[in-house]
Structure 1
Amino acid sequence: MKTVPSAPARVTAAITIDRPLTDVTDWFANAENLPSWSGFFQEVDAAGNDGRHPALSLAGVISTWTEVVREPGGAEVAICSVIRGRTERAALSLRQTGAGTHVRFTVTVLRPEGATALQAQEIRMGDELDAARHLLEVWA
């Protein structure tokens, strides 16, 4: 019997970081910070002339960069990577909340292995955001 692949699924985690929006946006927009909070990125080198960073990830050697859209009271940071010839994006939606910044992190899992795998992905993403929060809140 042939197995039908699962449809892509979006997974989201969120956290509030006790830092101003500009600081949080600038930090997430710096692709070289990725290994300090994202378990997917093991090493990110300086950007080349094309603005893309050579990187080592759990998927092997890739190319990555960020795209930022700033708006009053918020920002969107897209983490873009070419992985095995395909461009993939993760999104960070940031909103100013008083003295802090609410961060919503969304990824699309292309071939989810079931509800348990999606739940594990959500937990990993929450842990990653918690690591980012810790780094940003002690960063001055």
Structure 2
Amino acid sequence: MYDRDGWFQQLRAIIAKNYPILRHPIFSVRHQLESAVLRRDSVSIIHRTAAFLGSYFDIVFAINSLPHPGEKRLVERATALCSKLPEDWESQIHSLTNSISLPAGDRQIIHCLDGLVDSLEGLLIEAGLIATNSVALQF
């Protein structure tokens, strides 16, 4: 396949940069967030959750070959603009953001992250952008 404008390579670069940090065992935002939950560091939990969502939406818009629309109203914009979306993503994001403010929501945060990455991974596999059960891109 000929990629005259380089958009496919840019798509792969966005995914290659952002996907591994969502779940990689040691250096991921998930790992950092789990550590923040264990030490009950609410500021770090909010900061790492925001970083997670930033990378998540970078991938969602890249899969749809759309420029990132900015940081505001991402759920509404993804719903309106994207034809390819992870399964049950919207309710998972709402669960994640709601669990941050709950006193006993710490473990729920990690569960929500895992659900979001699982459904995103399914979409990436379906699009042929990653191998099954792998954080490495297929090149």
In terms of fraction of residues, the more helix-rich structure is 2
Same fold (TM over 0.5): no
In terms of fraction of residues, the more strand-rich structure is 1
> Per the shorter chain, which TM-score range?
0.3 to 0.5
Normalising by the residue count of structure 1, what TM-score does the alignment of the two structures yield? 0.33
